[in-house]
A = this chain, B = another copy of it.
Amino acid sequence: MTNVITSKDNQKVKLAASLKLKKNRESTGLFLCEGSKNLEMAFKANCVKIIFTKIDLKLPKNCEAEIYKVNDEIIDKLSSEKNPEGVVFVCEKIEHNIDSKKYNKIVYLDEITDPGNLGTIIRTALALKYDAVVLSKNCVDIYNEKTIAASKGSIFFMPTFYADLEEFKDKTIYVSSLNNNPIDLNKIQKTTNFVLVLGNESHGVSEKSLSLATYVVKIDISDKIDSLNVAVAAGILMNYLA
């Protein structure tokens, strides 16, 4: 059964809107998401709690989410898109197994701060069949709305969690850096049980990551430009090592 909400001061709407802030996502264990394509993927991950929609939806059998028909004003309040599709929903955060031994092909992000980059890297990792995306504590929030938008639903399937790189030191660790005497990609030995480390958009990887590196690697680039975009560099390295 679908109920109707007409006021943007409704408690459910207020709860959903509060999830735009990280502290509220942390205290509730919930996050906000939007779009029918993302919803389809969230249903598969079985984590949808509340749906606010002004469009007709294709719902799975035995859908247990609360569903509310809402107006443009409520969609505009909840959406972070310029031209919202018309469906915004609340999900429960997904708990992932954080046992490092469970995963063979890992991408480790060392202080990635741009949510779009993070979402794009999670999308690429899922596409290229990596096992997990692990984040240093100072990375941007996985459940930031821009991360979720850029991830194109991959956030629902890709094991993603925060941990220290040290927990993976039994694996081959490839650290991407243009400094610190890196070697060219085609000169490294490939393995099947490894971590690929990418660093911050401005200042690169941390000293700690460098100290744990089995190989410091680089993509050979022109001297006309400082660096590649980190999500592009991640894609090239992930594809090469996969």
For residue A181, CB closer than 8 A to chain B, the reply is no
Within 8 Å CB of A90, what residues of B?
none
Cα separation A120 to B154 with both chains bound (whole Å): 21
- Using a Cβ–Cβ cut-off of 8 Å, how many residues does chain A contribute to the interface with B? 30
- Please judge, given known A-B contacts A231-B231, A231-B232, A232-B235, whether A152 and B225 are in contact too, CB under 8 Å: yes
- Please judge, given known A-B contacts A219-B239, A239-B219, whether A124 and B224 are in contact too, CB under 8 Å: no
* Residues of chain A in range 114-158 having any CB-CB distance to chain B below 8 Å: 116, 120, 123-124, 126-129, 150, 152-154, 157
For residue A83, CB closer than 8 A to chain B, the reply is no
- Among the listed B150, B221, B229, which residue makes an inter-chain contact with A120, where contact means beta carbons less than 8 Å apart? B229
For residue A21, CB closer than 8 A to chain B, the reply is no
Q: Would you call A228 and B123 a contact (CB within 8 A)? A: yes
Kindly list the 9 A-B residue pairs having the minimum CB-CB distance in the complex, ordered from nearest.
Answer: A232-B235, A127-B221, A236-B239, A120-B229, A127-B225, A126-B225, A129-B222, A235-B235, A235-B236
